[in-house]
Structure 1
Amino acid sequence: MHDPYLMALHALADPFRANSLREYHKVDRVYLGLTNPQLNDLTKQWRDEVDLANRITIADGLWRTNIFEARIAAAKMLTQARMRDSDEEAWQLIATWYRDFDSWAIADHACTAGQKRLLADPSRIERVESWTRSEHMWTRRAALVITLPWTKMNNPKPEDLEIRERVLGWAGDYTSDPQWFIQKAIAGWLSDLGKHDPERVRSFIDAHGDAMKPFARKEAVRLLK
């Protein structure tokens, strides 16, 4: 069922830009060279044309191709705040993609789709917590990226604060991880939180800052007043 959608992606292919993407992301897969605005326009049209059940089928098929733009399009097909029908099947699909993460761009788009489903049902945090124990670096990173909405809440409810503290606990454990992408994810999470709760970021740095890489510690506090 995804073939017409894959054909639409191929129709906009730009070989020169595709080569640039391959060099930038340094992952061996097919790149078509589409821009993000092109993908936004296509997937918006597709979301308007098909119901949720078919969007899930299309997204699954696009993801399985392992084409860079197809995987991003798959995530965009399932990125929306509210789903009129039950979103459980969409969540179940998104929550399997983490096993395939191997680049930040694909991972971030998939996690953006996952953020909406996690906000819709915060009890799903239990499944996300299992990712923190993975040997796969991109899976561990995804646990921080998918929970970023909890850094941006101006008036968090008690249950939101509980999730925020839970993720900060994961971040504290991650500080001993030397992987650059993990350190960068910690810094990004703290930087976003600092715009809303700078004191909590300061207390985190007091407790864990010495274990962080210097660049990550600097980035985490860069915007604090």
Structure 2
Amino acid sequence: MTDVSAATFVDSLRAAPLGPGGPVPGTDDAEPRLGLAMGTIFNLAKEYLDLPLGEIEVLLDTPLYEARVGALSIMDKKARRKRTGPDERRGLYELYLRRMDRIDDWGLVDLGAQYVIGGYLFDKPRDVLYRLARSPNVWERRTAIWATMFFVRQGDTNDMYAIAELLVDDPEHFVQTVVGGMLRTAGDHDADRLRAFLDNHAATMPRTALRYSIEHLDRPERAHYLSLAQARRS
């Protein structure tokens, strides 16, 4: 492909076949959506891995939801790619953090945070995650906990548990689901540490987070932790 730009990416989106549902309404702020299947956008993103960071930012600013999905998908694939150099990895990380005004739903966060943020920070100080975890912005908080998935998959669960402690009582559904899911995944590495966390928090943590976190425990343990929560609410 000779012309790799945000404009040609958007043109390709508009020319792509629609998903089975066809065109869909915009979001609450009336952002237009084409109705493309996510797989169509992800496949197109593979063709744009040489898109410069400045053009990715143009995509983020494009008033079309699929363009933002494409931007995050390109960022994710660049961050995963072995030949991506350290300067570009830093640029991807900084772009994500600088443009979180455009990373404002759970799907966009989940596309980028694990590899763009977590992958970059794996061998670096992780203070930024704690700042994000204390943010009033729900998507920054979701980013903080979801980014730790990269660490957990390497067997490093310390930051995940520390950030889960900060977010365990979060009132937002889209944070609760990730806190619970991350606890469940960390429990697959060390079930005893998960049990210790639940012993401290099961009685008071939101039910959504609790149910996600205990999914991989055996039935008697699930019943035990749910009974703690029920007793607290009675």
TM-score category, normalised to shorter length? 0.7 to 0.9
Q: Given that residues 141 and 181 in structure 1 are in contact (C-alpha distance below 8 angstroms), is that contact kept between their aligned partners in structure 2?
A: yes
Equivalent residue pairs, number: 208
Q: 1:98 to 1:224 in 2, by over 3 A?
A: farther
Deviations 1:52-104 (A, max 9, x none): xx431221110111421111111121223231352221221122233333321
Please tell me whether Structure 1 or Structure 2 has the larger radius of gyration of its CA atoms: 2
Residue 94 of structure 1 corresponds to 96
Residue in structure 1 matched with residue 70 of structure 2 by the alignment: 73
Q: Structure 1 residues 66 and 105, CA, compared in 2 at 3 Å: closer, same or farther? A: farther
**Does residue 168 of the first structure (1) align with residue 161 of the second (2)?**
yes
* Equivalent pair of 2:168/2:205 in contact (CA under 8 Å): yes
Match of 2:6 among 2, 13, 18: 2
Consecutive unaligned residues in structure 2, runs of 5 or more: 219-234
* C-alpha spacing 1:99/1:168, structure 2 compared with 1 (3 Å): farther
Q: Cα 1:105–1:133, aligned 2, differ >3 Å: closer, same or farther?
A: same
Assess if the C-alpha contact under 8 Å between 1:55 and 1:78 holds in 2: no
Distance 2:215 2:33 in 1: 35
Query: 4+ residue stretches of structure 1 with deviation over 6 A?
Result: none
SS in structure 1 of the partner of residue 48 of structure 2? helix
Give the structure with the higher percent helix: 1
Higher-RCO chain (CA-CA 8 Å, sequence separation at least 6)? 1
Task: Report what 1:148 is aligned to.
Answer: 149
Structure 1: where are the runs of 5+ without partners? none
TM-score, normalised to structure 1, is: 0.81
Query: Do the aligned partners of 2:42 and 2:73 also contact (CA within 8 Å) in 1?
Result: yes
Counterparts in 2 of 1:200-211, with a 5 A limit? 200-211=193-204
1:39 to 26, 38, 41: 41
Q: 1:131, CA displacement in angstroms?
A: 0.6
* Rounded Cα–Cα distance in structure 1 between residues aligned with 2:139 and 2:210: 20
Change (3 A) 1:107 1:18: farther
Tell me which moved more, 214-223 or 199-208. 214-223
C-alpha displacement of 1:136: 0.8
CA contact (8 A) 1:29 1:68 kept: yes
Paired with 1:213 and 1:206, the residues of 2 have a C-alpha distance of: 14
Amino acid aligned to 2:149: L
Report the 3-state secondary structure (helix = DSSP H, G, I; strand = E; otherwise coil) of the residue aligned with 1:71.
helix
Paired residue secondary structure (2:99): helix
Q: SS at the partner of 1:189?
A: helix
**SS in structure 1 at match of 2:33:** coil
Distance 1:116 1:145, change over 3 A: closer
**TM-score between the two structures when normalised by the length of structure 2:** 0.79
With 140-149 and 73-82 compared, the bigger mean Cα shift is at 73-82
